[in-house]
Every structure is written in C-alpha cells, then in structure tokens.
Amino acid sequence: MLGMKKGYLLALTLGTLGYANLSHAYTLQTVATGLKVPWSIEFVDSNTAVISERNGSIVELDIPSGNIKALYKPQDVYAAGQGGLLDLAFNPQNKNQLFITYSQKDKQGPSTILASATYSKGSLTNFKHILVTQSHSNTGRHFGSRIVFDNEGKLYFSIGDRGNRDNGQDTSNHAATIVRINGDGSVPSDNPFINDKHALAEIWSYGHRNPQGITFDSQTKTLWAIEHGPRGGDEINKIEKGNNYGWPITSHGKEYWGPLMVGDSKYQQGITAPALVYTPSIAPSSLIIYRGKRYPDLNGKLLAGALKLTHLNVIKIDADNLIEEQRLFEDLGERIRDIQLSPDDYLYITTDSGKVMRILP
C-alpha cells in the first residue's frame, strides 16, 4: 500500500484542484454543484449526463454549462438510511432504455427494486418495474444496487444483506446476492440456480454483505465487485457463476461491539476468498475498470471510490491477483460516491456533498 499524501502537491486555482506525484499528475475540475447526494452518473453523450439523487430524483446535467434539469421522481422511493434512488445504467443494446435501482417503500419493509424507463433528451417516460426483489427488511441498511452489463447484454445488479446476516447464506431470497437477468426481467437459461427449488433463479452469486461497486471487464470477460466489510475487511471479489463469497461465515472484519472477528474464520473450503482485502475499511462506493488512452497510467486498472477514507482507490490487476497501487485525491476530503467514464474518455466522479467533477490528466 502506498501512502500518497507525502507525494502530492495541492493547488487551488480557478475552481480546479491539482494533484501530482513523481509519475502521475491529475487535476479535478468542478462541473456541477448543489446536487443532493448524486449516487450515480451515466452519460448520454459527451455533453449530457443523467444523475440519480438519493432523495429520489433523476436529473439531467448539461456538462458545458453545469445546468441541471429535473426529469423524473418515482413516488414509491424509500429515501431514508442508506436507501433512496440509487444506480442508473443505460442498456448498451438500446441507448434509450435507462435502468434504475432504488429502495421501495413497502408494508413488509423496504426492498431493492430494478426499474426501467425510456429516455429522450429532456424527458423520462414509460417508468416500470423490471424486478421487485425479495429482499425486504425492517432496516434501512445494505441495499447494494449497482448495475452492470456483460458482453452479451445480460444485466447484473447487487443487493446487500439488508442488515440481516442470516441472509448471507440464504438463497431463498435475493438479499446478499448478485443477480443476473435479461433486460426484460426474464431469467437466462444458464443461470446457476435455475433448476434449484431451494434457490431463486435470478441469483448469480451469494454470500455478499453489501456490494456497492460492480464492473465487467469486456476484454477479459471478468466480473468484479467491491463490498463493505463490517469493522475492517472490505473486499474486492472476482464474481463467478454460482459461487459463495462467505458472508457471514467468513470475514476479515471485526464486530462493531468488540474485538472479536466476525464469522468462523477468514477462509474456508468451498467459499471463494476475496482477491483483495482492505483493513481498515475504506468504505467502497463504486467500481469501474478503466480502458482508455487519456489516462495511460490507469489503463487496465480498477478504480474504486471511497467514502470513509475519502479518496479514489487505484488497483492493479495481475492475473487473478489484485494489488492496491495508489490512493488519489486524499486531501480533497470528499466522500466519492460514483466514478464513471464519459464517451470522450474523461473520468468523472460524484461526491456526497453534491458535486460532479471531471478528472483531467
């Protein structure tokens, strides 16, 4: 692990923050402010993005001007605790279809919902549910909710354990899983539990505490996810079909109420071990793999936003091994909520304080 603070120079000029070390130099340019916890940013084109605000609103951002326009606000959003309007993702096979995850108000307690809507410039219509997950809980915690697509157009999204550890090893509900479905909500015929009467057919992997970042590497056809541990033990996992990732039987974190480790052990036969563990926790919020030319030092690396430790985490991939390589923007002091790549190969971050910022190499 490299400590970055000693190697960085910080300059504040004309709304641009600059960071540099011996081999890397980046600046942060503020594009927009005043948003209400911008949980997700997705790009329509190089000049337009749609953003989810956790309070329940979907807005449109004109990037050159920084102007924000309200698009849509679902009526059944549970915007409390860690819940609210969460991830957004355009269907790569239909650029007008926007997928949305959010926590839904319900008499049984909030649960994670996958919905879709039709986007055209300045409007969002045809809002409908695609999958109402069986993940109800009386807590406002651990909704997961990140979305990603693979090369075949299959949709994956994450669901946390909903604050109930027993869900981790219970495949009769969707909590503590990553699900895989088709864009219309149907279940692919090659899902691992499709013929298992004791498991839900949508489940792709299970044993997850709260995965809030998920990315698919189209070059290597690898699915990666990053999840919150308890007190210590955040994990990045290589997600494979039908695998059990251990929560709460295995964990690298401690109990909140004392020095005891969670679970029976850190590793166990039959449970997939994490590819990278963070102790202390960084509180991960998002994950992408960068493939591009504008930031050559970051090409082929995983990038994760951090909330608690307020930085951008850079991870090198060495076969199936992951190596934490850098911590960028530590001195910014911002909870980084999302990181995404624009069509013109710029990286953007959103922060819980309501900012959208462009990373300039």
Element of type H or E holding 114: strand 111-120
**CA–CA distance, 234 with 4 (Å, rounded to integer):** 20
Closest CA to 289 of 256, 314, 266, 311: 314
pLDDT mean over 320-341: 96
Query: What's the mean pLDDT when you consider all of the chain?
Result: 93
Spatial strand order of the sheet with 284-290 comes to 284-290, 301-306, 312-318, 321-328
Closest CA to 284 of 246, 228, 238: 228
What tens digit of pLDDT does each residue of 139-174 get?
A: 999 999 999 999 999 999 999 999 999 999 999 999
Closest CA to 159 of 102, 91, 99: 102
pLDDT mean over 163-191: 98
- Give me 77's structure tokens: 């959003």
pLDDT at position 108: 92
**Spatial contact of 224 and 189, defined as CB atoms under 8 Å apart:** no
Q: Give percent of the chain with pLDDT exceeding 70.
A: 93
pTM of this prediction exceeds 0.85: yes
Q: Is the pLDDT of residue 12 over 60?
A: no
Q: Read off the DSSP letter of residue 331.
A: G
Exposure string (b/e) for 165-184, b if CB count within 10 Å is 16 or more?
A: bebbbbbebbbbbbbbbebe
Give the confidence band of 17 by pLDDT, cuts at 50, 70, 90. low
Catalytic pick from 24, 129, 142, 228? 142
**Spatial contact of 185 and 166, defined as CB atoms under 8 Å apart:** no
Q: Is the pLDDT of residue 1 over 90?
A: no
DSSP letter string, 150-195: -TT--EEEEE--TT-GGGGG-TTSSTTEEEEE-TTSPPPTT-TTTT
pLDDT at position 288: 98
User: Is 249 or 105 the better-scoring residue by pLDDT?
Assistant: 249
pLDDT at position 20: 46
What tens digit of pLDDT does each residue of 21-49 get?
A: 434 589 999 999 999 999 999 999 999 99
φ/ψ of 166, rounded to 5, equals -60, -25
What tens digit of pLDDT does each residue of 251-265 get?
A: 999 999 888 999 999
Q: Is the pLDDT of residue 224 over 80?
A: yes
**Spatial contact of 193 and 171, defined as CB atoms under 8 Å apart:** yes
What tens digit of pLDDT does each residue of 283-325 get?
A: 999 999 999 999 999 999 999 999 999 999 999 999 889 999 9
136 is catalytic: no
